[in-house]
Each structure stands twice: as structure tokens, then as C-alpha cells.
């Protein structure tokens, strides 16, 4: 009997259709196992494609491998593109509900509660993706996902706010026509689509009663307030390891929000900002790509608090700092000073371990010429060591 990551990988290698809904970058091994085994992958774990694109894209070329997106927006685009060739495509239009804070200004988001962040107006989702939706970081990640899924350049991918969440995305063609996929917000429809593709599920989900549907409205996203959207565009255009660093920073920032909300802390997470351009660009790791500082005295969780039925106190509505997450992800230079670091011996030993691991991995993979895979593995090492940093005591006698 297998459990944990090994069990998931084994199941992905044996199944005919693999549904990957693992939360965050931890879903990468399942994505790779399914594709490299030539399986159909119904992908709900966008992070593995966004951060792991350098290794996922080659796996997509495995004989028999097929990737069908479950995200409602990308499932909609997948359906709209089914009868249109690349030469006919003008642009992709990804819709966004606007989240629970649509219409608010930046200064109104300085102190909000976990309950508010989880109050999505149209979708019932997991806690991590719901917080991402409240900052529009989720929509930014979906832009990168659309680029990787459909190989459409960023200048031809736009985001439009559609509060009713009935139009799930649109494809505009070169002759001015627009094809859209519409249904009531019900994830059973895209899940069924991915499971049955290329056939259609015979049981309807999300069917619209057009006699009672009164209006469909659209508006531009408020990029000044929800600056994470443009930050994701910037990371995507920078290419290379920038999307992986952005995704890693976002995962830790959201985890810090949960931790600060549950402990009553008011610490504000900072974030890396990608720099450079072109597919070979790399982050400037000297300052803005450093690991996030957790709230004082808070340990970094390996998994999202609340994702496995943790204490409901996390969702009790105490003030958090997701509003700060909205602003500082795009403006790290304005982030407050970092929280105090742990005691010197523990911190120094953790740092030595981190640098040693990175140096070893760097040497091996540079010799092998696997630069892109090196960046992905480096992100994993940094996230693991950041978790250990500050509360892994040095060995006896270490200084």
C-alpha cells in the first residue's frame, strides 16, 4: 500500500484518466507522472503548469498524453477553440467575477477578515484559491496558465470582469466574431467535460433558464487596486523562472495571511517581483526574490491551514492582512520592515544548510545542462528550507 506523494504518483501512472486537484505546487509530481505515462490529465492544479512549465511542456509531447483543463475559464476556452484554428484566433478573453472585494479601493483593504476573503460572490471553492480570487492573483495565474495551455502570446490575452460568472471565457476571431461558453457556475460541468472528452457528459449541469436571466454585464478590472493581475503579466512576460518564483511567493504569502489571521498578528508579507524579459530571464534574487518573512513567532505550514479540516478558528473572521497582500505583492518596495529573525545560531545553521543544498544542486544540474529543471528544483528547495528556517535547531556544538 502506498500513501502520500508516492501513492498519488502511482495512481497517476496506472489510471486511464487522472484528475489532479492537489493544492499548489505540490501537484507537480502528479502532473508529470500522468503525462509521462501517456494518460489523459484533467488538470485543476494550475500551479504545476505555471511554475513547472519547463518540465511539463516536454511531458505533454509523450505519446498518448492529453491535457484537458478543469478550470472553468480554460475549459471554456478549450471548448471555444475546438472548431477554430490558430490562424483564426485574434485574442482570448478570460472572465473574472471580481471577487468579494470588487468595487473597493486600495485603502479599504488595509484590514479585512478571513470571513470576508472567503465570501466569494459566485463560486464555492477551497480556501487558498478563494483568497487568490479576492486579490485577483488567481486571475493573473490563469493568464499565465492560458499562455502555457494554448501557446497564445500575452498581448493577445485579456481579462474582463463579469460579475454574474455565466460567461466563463471567450475567444475573439480575426473576423470580429466572438465565441463564448456560457453556463451557471457549477464545477461539475467542466469536470464532466474533462472526464468524458472528446465526448460530452449526458447529464446536464449549469443549464441556463434564459427566461429568467435578466442581464450579463462586463467591466474592466481595477488594476490600481488589484495590482497582482499586472504583476502576473509581468512575471509571465519575463519567462524563465519568474512564474515559478511568483507562484512560490504567493503560496507563502497566502499561508502567512492564514497564520496572521489565526494568531491575531498584523505582520505584512512582502513578495518577490520578477525582472527582465524574454524566455531566459531570471529573477533578481538579491532583494526582491528573497523568501517571505512570516508573522512573529509563526511557523510556516507545509499545507494550507483549513485545507484538511483544521480548526474553524481560522475562519472566525478575525482581522487579517489580505488587503496588504493585494498591495505589497505589486509594490514590494513599499513593504514594511521584515519581522525579527530567529536566534543567531539557529538562523545561521539553517542558512548554511540552504546555501549548501543550492550549491550542490546548482553544480550537478549545470554539468548536466538542465538549467530550467534547476530553477524548478531550486524553488522547491527554497520553499522547504524557508519552512525549516528559524525553527530547526543546529546540531550539538554547531554555531
Q: What CATH number is given to the structural domain containing 48?
A: 3.40.50.720
Looking at 28, 49, 69, the residue that finishes a domain is 69
Quote the CA–CA distance of 126 and 135 in Å, as a whole number: 15
Name which residue leads in pLDDT, 112 or 337. Answer: 112
Looking at 26, 41, 69, the residue that finishes a domain is 69
Distances (CA, A) of 283 to 151, 327, 329: 22, 20, 15
Single pTM value for the model: 0.68
Quote the CA–CA distance of 120 and 132 in Å, as a whole number: 11
Q: What is the mean pLDDT of residues 266-281?
A: 39
Whether 21 is in a domain gets the answer yes
Whether 362 is in a domain gets the answer yes
Local confidence band at 311 (pLDDT 50, 70, 90 cut-offs): very low
The answer, yes or no, to whether residue 380 has pLDDT greater than 70, is no
Whether 378 is in a domain gets the answer yes
Whether 6 is in a domain gets the answer yes
Tell me what pLDDT residue 254 has: 85
On average, the pLDDT of the chain sits at: 74
Which of 227-236, 256-265, 298-307 is predicted with the least confidence, judged by mean pLDDT? Answer: 298-307
Tell me what pLDDT residue 150 has: 95
Whether 204 is in a domain gets the answer no
The answer, yes or no, to whether residue 165 has pLDDT greater than 50, is yes
Nearest to 330 by CA among 109, 130, 152, 146: 109
Residue range of the domain that includes 23: 1-69
Whether 332 is in a domain gets the answer no
The answer, yes or no, to whether residue 174 has pLDDT greater than 90, is yes
Looking at 22, 45, 69, the residue that finishes a domain is 69
Which of 2-6, 159-163, 188-192, 392-396 is predicted with the least confidence, judged by mean pLDDT? Answer: 392-396
- Tens of pLDDT, residues 19-48: 999 988 889 999 999 999 999 999 999 889
Tell me what pLDDT residue 255 has: 83
Whether 176 is in a domain gets the answer no
Joined together, the cell numbers standing for residue 224 give 490600481
Helix axes 228-238, 242-263, angle to 10 degrees: 150
Tell me what pLDDT residue 387 has: 52
Local confidence band at 287 (pLDDT 50, 70, 90 cut-offs): very low
DSSP state of 356: H
Per mean pLDDT, which of 15-24, 126-135, 148-157, 365-374 is the most reliable? Answer: 148-157
Whether 399 is in a domain gets the answer yes
Joined together, the cell numbers standing for residue 282 give 531570471
> Please, which residues have CB within 8 angstroms of residue 199's CB and are 6 or more apart in sequence?
none
Query: How many domains is the chain partitioned into structurally?
Result: 2
Name which residue leads in pLDDT, 125 or 141. Answer: 141
Q: What is the mean pLDDT of residues 252-270?
A: 60
**Sign of the torsion formed by the C-alpha atoms of 102, 108, 111 and 115:** negative
Amino acid at each position: 500500500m502506498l500513501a502520500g506523494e508516492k501513492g498519488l504518483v502511482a495512481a497517476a501512472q496506472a489510471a486511464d484518466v487522472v484528475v489532479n486537484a492537489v493544492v499548489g505546487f505540490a501537484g507537480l509530481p502528479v502532473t508529470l507522472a500522468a503525462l509521462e505515462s501517456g494518460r489523459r490529465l484533467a488538470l485543476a492544479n494550475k500551479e504545476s503548469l505555471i511554475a513547472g512549465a519547463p518540465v511539463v511542456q516536454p511531458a505533454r509531447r509523450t505519446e498518448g498524453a492529453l491535457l484537458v483543463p478543469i478550470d472553468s475559464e480554460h475549459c471554456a476556452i478549450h471548448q471555444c477553440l475546438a472548431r477554430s484554428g490558430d490562424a483564426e484566433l485574434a485574442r482570448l478573453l478570460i472572465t473574472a467575477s471580481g471577487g468579494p472585494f470588487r468595487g473597493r479601493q486600495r485603502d479599504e483593504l488595509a484590514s479585512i477578515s478571513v470571513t470576508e476573503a472567503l465570501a466569494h460572490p459566485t463560486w464555492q471553492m477551497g480556501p487558498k484559491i478563494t483568497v487568490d480570487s479576492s486579490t485577483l492573483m488567481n486571475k493573473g495565474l490563469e493568464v499565465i496558465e492560458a499562455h502555457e495551455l494554448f501557446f497564445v502570446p500575452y498581448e493577445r490575452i485579456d481579462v474582463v470582469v463579469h460579475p454574474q460568472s455565466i460567461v466563463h471565457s471567450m475567444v475573439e476571431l480575426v473576423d470580429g466574431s466572438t465565441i463564448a461558453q456560457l453556463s451557471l457556475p457549477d464545477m461539475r460541468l467542466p469536470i464532466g467535460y474533462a472526464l468524458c472528452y472528446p465526448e460530452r457528459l449526458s447529464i446536464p449541469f449549469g443549464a441556463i433558464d434564459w427566461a429568467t436571466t435578466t442581464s450579463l454585464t462586463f467591466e474592466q478590472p481595477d488594476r490600481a487596486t488589484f495590482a497582482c493581475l499586472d504583476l502576473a503579466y509581468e512575471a509571465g512576460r519575463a519567462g524563465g523562472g519568474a512564474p515559478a518564483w511568483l507562484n512560490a511567493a504567493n503560496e507563502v504569502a497566502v499561508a502567512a495571511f492564514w497564520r496572521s489571521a489565526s494568531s491575531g498578528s498584523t505582520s505584512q508579507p512582502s513578495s518577490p517581483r520578477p525582472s527582465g524579459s524574454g524566455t531566459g530571464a531570471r529573477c533578481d534574487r538579491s532583494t526582491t526574490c528573497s523568501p517571505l518573512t512570516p508573522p512573529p513567532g509563526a511557523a510556516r505550514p507545509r499545507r494550507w491551514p483549513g485545507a484538511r479540516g483544521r480548526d474553524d478558528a481560522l475562519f472566525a473572521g478575525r482581522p487579517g492582512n489580505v488587503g496588504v497582500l493585494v498591495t505589497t505583492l505589486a509594490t514590494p518596495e513599499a513593504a514594511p520592515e521584515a519581522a525579527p529573525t530567529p536566534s543567531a545560531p539557529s538562523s545561521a545553521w539553517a542558512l548554511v544548510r540552504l546555501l549548501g543544498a543550492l550549491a550542490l544542486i546548482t553544480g550537478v544540474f549545470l554539468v548536466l545542462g538542465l538549467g530550467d529543471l534547476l530553477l524548478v528544483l531550486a524553488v522547491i528547495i527554497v520553499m522547504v528550507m524557508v519552512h525549516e528556517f528559524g525553527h530547526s535547531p543546529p546540531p550539538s556544538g554547531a554555531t
